[in-house]
Amino acid sequence: MSTLSDQAVLQTIFNPNNPFGNNFGLEAEVDLTDDDSKFDPVLVQQAKQLELHGVSLAESGSVDAAVEVFTRAIAILPERASGYNNRAQSLRLMGDTTGAKSDLNKAVDLSEGRGRTASLALVQRGLLYRLYGQDEEALQDFRKAADLGNRFAKYQVTIMNPYAALCNRMLAKMVANLRNPEPPTTPSV
């Protein structure tokens, strides 16, 4: 019987371009939530409203304005991780990877590595690590996010496995040979 990790590797080999759907039940997305119960509900609602507005601004291309709105949300509840995670995304879109990484570190710390925000922040930080060639650090973050049930993180862990990469190359070569077989050679007389 194969483990879930073995199944994930096989899934990647046979469906290398399909990380998000049709995984035949191999991965279940976990419905994560953040525990905001330690905060004043009125302040949480205000911060969430600002974050929704910030996301809307970022999606419409007003990334500078989005950063300002996320900063206001953080000012309302500076111990809540979500605002830092959202601001990090906008900072990254602006090219400020140093600021983004700082906010992601804060989001992971404040979330204590649990919940939806931790999952998203770990993935974002893992992507930044990959951008700078820090694959070991990226893999650590992707594994933590995968443990939280993040499907994208599970896919990243799988494709960063050197054995899976080798199998993918071998399989691709074999499929290419099946699609375009070399003509038989005739012996010279």
Question: How does pLDDT run along the chain (189 residues), one tens digit per residue?
Answer: 445 554 555 454 444 444 434 443 333 345 678 888 899 999 999 999 999 999 999 999 999 999 999 999 999 999 999 999 999 999 999 999 999 999 999 999 999 999 999 999 999 999 999 999 999 999 999 999 999 999 999 989 988 887 766 666 777 777 777 788 877 677 666
Statement: the pTM of the whole predicted model exceeds 0.75: no
Write out the two tokens for 100: 């983004």
Residue 29 and residue 20: Cα distance in Å, rounded? 10
Residue 19: what pLDDT? 42
Separation in Å, CA 131 to CA 117, 125, 160: 21, 10, 14
- Contacting residues for 64 by C-beta, under 8 A, at least 6 apart: 94
Residue 187 and residue 189: Cα distance in Å, rounded? 6
- Contacting residues for 58 by C-beta, under 8 A, at least 6 apart: 66, 89, 90, 93
**Main-chain dihedrals φ then ψ at residue 161, nearest 5 degrees:** -75, 120
Q: Which CATH class is domain 4-179?
A: mainly alpha
Do residues 141 and 125 make contact, with C-beta atoms less than 8 angstroms apart?
yes
